[in-house]
Amino acid sequence: MTPLINLAAGQRSQEVTELAARIGWVVGLLLFIALLYWLMREGWKWRGLLQSDLPEPHAAPDALSEAKLSMTGRYHGSTTAGQWLDRIVAHGLGTRSRAELTLTDEGLAVVRPGARDFFVPADALRGARLDKGIAGKVLTEGGLLVITWQHGEKLIDSGFRSDRSAEHPAWVEALNHLNTTTEGAR
C-alpha cells in the first residue's frame, strides 16, 4: 500500500498564473468594453446629428377635448415609416419609456415620464396597424401598436405596447377612422 500513498503524494496541482498577468488581462478587457460602450454612444449621437433636420415635435395644447381613447404602456421608439430598423433618435424620439397615450379630436398626446412628451396633431396622423417589431423590440405577431404620422417632410412609425394588449385593435380602428375623417379636411 505504500506505493499508492507515494503516488498520491507526488501529484501536485498546476501552479497558479501570475497575479500581474491576470490583472493585466482583466484591465485590458475592461478597457475594451469601455471602448465599445463609448463607440455605441458616439454612434447614437452621430445618428441624432444626422437627423437634426427633423423639426422639434409638437407640444400638447393646453386645452384638449374629451379623450376618445387612452392607454398606458410602453413607448418603444420611432423609425422612418416602412423601415422598421431605421431608428429616429433626434429630439428624444429614440428613448424608450413608459407612456400614456390620449387620443382626442385634436390629435394624439404622448406623455412619457422621464422622457420628452410629444403631440401628433390629428391632420398629421396617417394610420395605425398591429405589427411584430420596431427597431430594438420584437414581439409576437400583432403585439405592437404602430402609429404612422407625418412630421415635417418625414413619415414616422412610432411603436407602442399597451399594458393590456387587447386594447390594440380599438386603437387601430379609432386612428384609421380619424385618419379617413381628417383626409377629407386636408
If one compares 10 and 157, the residue with the highest pLDDT of the two is 157
pLDDT band at 12 (very low <50, low <70, confident <90, very high): low
Of 38, 55, 131, 42, which is closest to residue 93 (Cα–Cα)? 55
77 shares its domain with 22: no
What is the domain range of residue 82? 69-183
Q: Is residue 142 part of a domain?
A: yes
- Give the model confidence (pLDDT) of 22-63 as tens digits: 899 999 999 999 999 999 999 888 887 888 888 888 887 888
Percent of the chain with pLDDT over 90: 38
Of 177, 181, 151, which is closest to residue 80 (Cα–Cα)? 151
91 shares its domain with 154: yes
Q: Is residue 56 part of a domain?
A: no
Beta strand spans in 81-124 (E): 87-88, 97-103, 107-111, 118-121
Domain count, the chain: 2
179 shares its domain with 92: yes
> Which pTM does this prediction carry?
0.75
45 shares its domain with 75: no
**Residue 90: which CATH number?**
2.30.29.30
The stretch 4-18 carries a mean pLDDT of 62
- Give the model confidence (pLDDT) of 140-176 as tens digits: 787 899 999 999 888 999 999 999 888 899 999 988 8
Cα 149 from Cα 110, distance rounded (Å): 13
Percent of the chain with pLDDT over 70: 87
Q: Is residue 64 part of a domain?
A: no
Is residue 104 within 8 A of residue 66, CB to CB? The reply is yes
22 shares its domain with 104: no
Geometric angle at alpha carbon 101, from 147 and 72, rounded to 5°: 115
Mean predicted lDDT score pLDDT of the chain: 85
